[in-house]
Structure 1
């Protein structure tokens, strides 16, 4: 029977892991015996002993390369690269500045590409590996005031599909997770400040609740497991049925 968890000792990079989904993913892999490297613009609070923690931007190739180089030196390479770092932009399109558009593209899409590119340069010669992206429910649906965010997350989903086709023959898989509204500090803050209608979110979700970070992390660990060996080029929703629900 194929194991649904990653093998102990798996070498994992997670970007945007200081908190939220990224931290939950890093913690879940660590709980399964993985070796963890994180890259975030912020310091990682209470990082466990043995983690490699690098501060920097995923939109800067040198910062991404430095994180992978640290893994090369410590562990001889990488098995899983999760390009999770993202930037949320919720603003009317007519008020969106060029700088805000470019910032969203640079972090969400360029950062994902640079992470995948650096990972592939290591995984392709070794003949195995998983590149994983964090997309969003907005890769599949639209939303008012989400032009920049939805455009980049749609790009991330198609980047995963394209790279899966390119890298698959060499044994490297590429997938994306598309979370719905996840109960993180950011969502809770937006609800508390009235920027999001929490009750409306609950009504739209068939499960009538927010997704938990650990549930997204569980999907990431499954995708890195032997049981997911034929899952390639997939964009997998972890949204409580949000995108399946056509009702307003």
Structure 2
């Protein structure tokens, strides 16, 4: 994902791979490795990556595209965990609340949905082996979604410690368009209806919100309507949590806490933690 975004930045200049490599002072093979994913940008030293992000706009790269490298690298790490089966600790979906931009990047890779903010910036398809988009191959998508299903079920057995991982893995599993995907997702979501029955604020507020929203995406809007009535309207704490949730999702606010238990679920009720 990050390599594809880097290619978009380069083409916005516009420069050839050779020209950009010379401007950056790297071998053209290195730049080709970045763009192809053979040399993941996330594996660069922090200082070198920071220098790259600063130089791209100075060299004429579209300033609206460069920030997407961060979301693309997040998506790369999540995808790598799913394909390799070795996520490490913590799992990328358990360590932080991923943003809308990261979700858009993952949707692009998993089902070909181009992020709306990038659609108009894509170059016209060209002849030859150059990919028109960063979508995973069908076999890789199968492996990734199998990993998400297993991760979702394992997280459910972890109790409160697995809330964030369960919620985010299940959310991404809903991107699966396989023949049995909708049935599995709906069944798994309905097993969590207990969190929807709670009124007002609770530590499971974010999970209830995601569950209700996902069910609405599958064609069942009633849980979302019930959630609004029971766990949002006329509850000061829940109403405060809602804009905070949106701020995290949109990447506009970062909680000072870095722990999954307090703010990792994206639900700090007053923006005070």
TM (normalized to structure 2)?
0.28
Which protein has the bigger strand share?
Answer: 1
Structure 1 or 2: more helix by fraction: 2
Q: With structure 1 as the length reference, what TM-score do the two structures score?
A: 0.30
Structure with higher Rg: it is: 2
Structure with greater contact order relative to length (CA < 8 Å, sep ≥ 6): 1
